[in-house]
Structure 1
Amino acid sequence: MLKEYEYIIVGAGIAGCSTAYFLSKHSDSILLLDRNCDLAQGASGAAGAFLSPLLGKPNKFKDLVTKAIKFSTQFYLENTPKEITNCGVVRIPKNQEDEKKFQSYKPYMDFEYEQMEGGYYFDIGSQVNSYNICKVLAKDVEKLFKYEAKDIEKKDGFWIINNELKAKNLILTTGADISLIGEDYFNIRAVWGQKIDIYTSTQTTKNYHKECSLSHSTFIEEKNNYLTSIGATHHRIDEDLNICNHCLNSFKNESSYSKQRANEDCEKLISLANDIKKLDDVEVCDIKIGPRASSLDYFPMVGQLIDSKTTIDKYPHLVNGSHVKDEMLSKYDNLYVLNGVGGRGYVLSPFLAKQLVDNILDKNELEDEIKVHRMFKRWVKKSKITK
C-alpha cells in the first residue's frame, strides 16, 4: 500500500518550506521531502539571506522584487521575529560607472534612502537566519530526508513517486535540478554561490552590498569576537548538482568545485569584503556552497506545468508563431512548480509561495511575468518541432 498525501513537495529549501507553510494553513496531509539530510542544504543554505532593494529604472522585474521585499519583510517580522535582523543596508557603487547608474536611479527609488559611507543606505535592508527560517516555516508538516525522488508518474488520478508515495497534488521546488520535469522549455541554469561565516575583531552594525554582501555582526562571548557573514553569487559552471553544504570534505581534486576552488573563493570574498570595510583578525569558521537556480529571463517560474507534447499535438500551428490563450494550453493535472528565484530566494519565495497556494486552492490567477506559460511560448516559437 502506497502512503498517500494530499500534497507532496519535493525540495526543502526556502521555496519548498514557504510553500509548505502556506499549505499547512489549509491541510494536515503534506509531505516535504528532500534528498539531503536536513532542510536548506543546497542553495538555500548557502545564501547570505539578505533582503535588499533592487535598484534601477522602472521595469517589471524591479516591480516584482519591490512587492516581494515588502511582503516578505513583513512576513518574517510577523512569523519569525527572532530570525530576522532589520539593520538596514548600504548599497555601494562598484566604480565610477556604477555611481553614474546610481545617480540615474535616484528618481525611481522605491524606498527611502540617505547617502552614507560612499553609498546609499536603505532602512528596509535585512538579513534572516536561513536554516532557522526554513525550520520554523516547515515545523507543522511531515518531513522525509535522505529520500531521492527519482521517478514520477500520473496514475489513477494520483502522482506516484518511486512507486512508494502517492499525492493528489505534486509540487516541485527542486531548484537547479530539474530532472523530474522533463520539459525542454523549462530551462534553468545553475549559478553557484558561496557564503562564508567569519570571526573578526571588527564590528559591523549594518549590512553592506558592493561586489559581495557583508552582514552586520553578532558578538560571540566565548570567542571574544564578532561573527559576520560574507556572500556572493558567481561561477556559471557545469557541476554535479548533488553537491551540498556537507560535501566540501568529499570533493575530488579534479572537481571544478574542489576544496581548492572553495578556498580560493573564500580568499576572494574576504578581499571583496575588505573593499567595503577593513576586517581585522579574520578566521573562517564555516563555508557553504550551492547552485542557485535562475531562469533565462531572470523571472521566477510558478504554477502548473505545461504539457508541451499534448499542447503541440492539439495546436500544431504554434510552431509557426501562432498564439492561443493561456487557458487553452494543456497542463499536467495537479503538477506545480516554484523555481527560478535565483539569488533572491529569501525575498521572493514567501511572496511567490502565497500566490501559488492561492492559485492551487482558490484558482487565483498568477501574474503573466511569473507563469510557466511564458517560457513555453518562447520555446515553442523557436522550436523545430513539427507534428
Structure 2
Amino acid sequence: MPTSKISPYDVIIIGAGINGCCSAYSLAQAGLNVALIDQGGIASGGSGAAGAFISPKISKAGELKEIMSEAHVEALAFYTSHFPQFTLVKPLLHIANSPKEGEKVESFKRESHLKHSNIPHKIQTLLSDEALHSASIYFDMGAVVDAQGVCHAMAEGVDFYPMRVEQLTHADGLWEVGKLRSKHLVLAIGAYPKLLPIDYVGLRGIWGHRIDIETSTHIPCILHHHVSISPTTKEGIVAIGATHDVHYSPFLLEPYDVEQGRALLLEKASKTLKLNNINILNDYMGLRSGSNDYLPMLGNLVDAEATLEKFPHLRHGEKINPREFVYYPNLTMVNGSGGYGFVLAPYLSKRLQEHLTTDSSLNPLLSPSRFFQRWAKRK
C-alpha cells in the first residue's frame, strides 16, 4: 500500500481516464493538492482506446445539444491553447450512417452556428458512392488529440498512485482511501465497479477498439461515418475507431477477439473510402462509460440507505425534492460521457473546479441523483 506524500490532500480523484486526468489538471491549476489513483495506470481503460475527437454531437435541439455545443467550443479552445503538442487541428467531415442519422445531420446544418462549407473536390474524389450520397456536414475546424499523450500531460505534477481501491471510508471529516486522506473525493471510475452502494447510477459500458495503421492513402481531414478515420499527431499514421460495442464486456470470462475487431474496423472504414497498402501498427481497447439518458454526470452522490430511511415512501413513488436527499459528504462523481469523453472533460472539470473552490452550484440536470427516484420506486 503506497505511503501518502501529503496528508491530507485537498482532493483525491479515483480513476485516471480523461475525466480524472482533466479534473486533476484543473484542480491542481487552481492551487489544490490533488492525488490521482488508478490501479491500471493513466489512460489504461476506455480513454486510452478512444479516438479522442473534438467534434460536435450531431443531435436535434434540446438540453443535450446545448451542453454539447458549449462543451465543444470550450474543448477546442482548451486543447489548442494548453496542449497544442497533443492536438491536431483538421477539417471534419461527418457523414450520416443511416437515413435517420441523415435527418439529424440536415436539421443540425440548418441550426448550427459552427462554420461549415461544401466538401472540397479532392475529398469528394476519395469517398465511396455510399458516402457521397449520404447526408453530410463539412466543418472547417475539428480536432483530434493524442489520448494517451494528453492524459499523461494533464497528470504531470499531480501525485499519482497506481493502487487498487477496495474500500472507501469517511471519518472525522476526511475521506480515507488506503493510507491516503482528503477532504474531497471525486469518483471518475467510468463503467468499472462503483466502490459504494450507488446502484441507482444509470451507467452502461461501451467497449471500444481502435487501431493505428499505415496506409498509402492520404487522409486530409477527420472522417466520421460508420467508424471514424483520422490523421493523427504522429506523421503518416491514421487512426480508425473506436467502435461502440455494447455487447462485449471485459467482466465476462471470454476474451475479446482482436482479429475480429480489426476486421470489423477495416470493413466499416471501407464503406467510407478505399484504404490502400494497410499495415496495422497498434490496437487500443477499453471500456467507456455512458449514462442511460446520454447526459453526462457531474454532481454529488445520494446515500441511498440513509435517504430511503428518511423517506421510506420513495419506494411507493412519492416525489421528493432532490435537495432533501441525504448525500455523501464532499463526494462528487464525474462520469457517463460515452463517446464524447474528450469533448466533455474540459467542460465538466472546469465546473467541478469552480464548485470545489468557490462553492458554486452544479447543474442539477447533470446530477447523478436524477436516477434515484425511479430506482427507489423499484426497490
Q: TM-score, structure 2 length as denominator?
A: 0.90
Task: Give the drift of 1:351.
Answer: 0.5
Kept in 1: contact 2:207–2:248 (CA 8 A): no
Q: Is 1:234 matched up with 2:238?
A: no
Pairwise CA distance, 1:195: 0.8
Cα distance, 1:100 vs. partner?
4.3
Contact 2:18 2:342 in 1 (8 A): yes
Q: Say if 1:201 and 1:219 are closer, same or farther in 2 by CA, change over 3 A.
A: farther
How far, CA to CA, are the matches of 2:370 and 2:49 in structure 1? Answer: 29
CA deviation profile, 1:301-333 (whole Å, cap 9, x unmatched) = 112111111112222233333333332211101
State which of 298, 301, 308 in structure 2 corresponds to 1:302: 298
The AA in structure 1 aligned to 2:266 is I
2:66 is aligned with 1:63: yes
User: Structure 1 stretch 7-16 or stretch 164-173: which is displaced more?
Assistant: 164-173
Per the alignment, residue 292 of structure 1 pairs with 288
Asked whether the 8 Å contact 1:5–1:30 carries over to 2, the reply is yes
Residue type matched to 1:91 in 2? H
Residue 16 of structure 1 contacts residue 32 of structure 1 at CA under 8 Å; is this kept in 2? yes
Partner of 2:13 in structure 1? 9
Which residues of 2 match residues 343-362 of structure 1 at below 5 A? 343-362=339-358
Cα distance in 2 for residues equivalent to 1:255 and 1:332: 34
Name the counterpart of 1:379. 375
Distance, in Å, in 2 between the alignment partners of 1:48 and 1:374 is 29
Structure-1 residue corresponding to 2:96: 93
- Counterpart contact for 2:145–2:233, Cα < 8 Å: no
Letter paired with 2:208: G
Q: Which runs of 5+ in 1 are unaligned?
A: 221-225, 242-253
Please list the CA deviations of residues 183-233 of structure 1 after superposition, one character each: whole Å capped at 9, or x if unmatched: 12113211101110001111111000001000025675xxxxx21000133
Q: Is the 8 A contact 2:88 2:233 kept in 1?
A: no
Shift of 1:255: 4.6
Q: What letter matches 2:244 in structure 1?
A: H
1:238 Cα deviation from its structure 2 partner: 5.4
Secondary structure of the residue that 1:143 maps to in structure 2? strand
Mean Cα deviation higher: 290-299 or 315-324? 315-324
- Whole-angstrom CA distance in 1 between matches of 2:169 and 2:146: 36
| SS of aligned partner of 1:288 | strand
Asked if 2 retains the 8 angstrom alpha-carbon contact of 1:111 and 1:122, the reply is: yes
- Offset of residue 357 of structure 1: 1.8
> What does the per-residue CA deviation read over 1:252-306, in whole Å, with 9 as the maximum and x for residues that have no partner?
xx95343xx1111111111211222211110110001101101111111112111
Partner residue of 2:254 out of 249, 253, 256: 256
* 1:154-202 CA-partner distances (Å, limit 9, x unpaired): 122211123x222211111111113313212113211101110001111
Cα distance, 1:153 vs. partner?
1.1
Q: Does 1:184 align with 2:184?
A: no
The separation in 2 between residues aligned to 1:10 and 1:184, in whole angstroms, is: 18
2:279 aligned residue (261, 267, 283): 283
Q: Separation in 1 of the partners of 2:267 and 2:107?
A: 29
- Contact kept, 8 Å, 1:178 with 1:188, in 2: the verdict is no
Using a 3 Å threshold, how does the CA distance of structure 1 residues 351 and 292 change in structure 2: closer, same or farther?
same
d(CA) in 2 for partners of 1:178 and 1:358?
A: 28
Conserved? CA contact 1:20–1:138, under 8 Å? yes
Tell me how far 1:139 sits from its aligned partner. 1.3
- Of residues 70, 75, 80, the one that matches 1:77 is 80
Q: CA RMSD in A?
A: 2.0
Asked if structure 1 preserves the Cα contact closer than 8 Å seen for 2:228 and 2:240, the reply is yes
Contact residue 92 and residue 221 of structure 2 kept, 8 A = yes
**Distance 1:40-1:218 versus aligned 2 partners, 3 A rule:** closer
Distance 1:197 1:238 in 2: 21
Rounded Cα–Cα distance in structure 2 between residues aligned with 1:371 and 1:304: 7
Other structure's SS at 1:87 match: strand
CA distance in 1, matches of 2:118, 2:14: 44
Residue 142 (structure 2) pairs with residue 125 (structure 1)? yes
Quick one: distance in 1 between partners of 2:222 and 2:255? 28
Q: TM-score, normalised by structure 1?
A: 0.88
CA offsets per residue over residues 101-144 of structure 1, 9 Å max, x none?
43344322242212323332012321011111112211121111
- 1:140 equivalent to 2:150? Answer no
In structure 2, the residue matched to 1:324 is 320
**CA distance 1:104–1:77, change in 2 (3 Å):** closer
In the TM superposition, 1:103-182 aligns within 5 A as 103-116=106-119, 117=124, 118=132, 119-145=136-162, 147-162=163-178, 164-182=179-197
Partner of 2:127: none
Which segment is superposed worse, 323-332 or 201-210?
323-332
**22-31 vs 84-93, which moves further:** 22-31
Matching of residue 42 in structure 1 with residue 42 in structure 2:
no
Structure 2 residue aligned with 1:204, among 204, 219, 234? 219
2:192 counterpart SS class: coil
Q: Distance in 2 between matches of 1:179 and 1:96?
A: 38
> How big is the shift at 1:43?
0.5
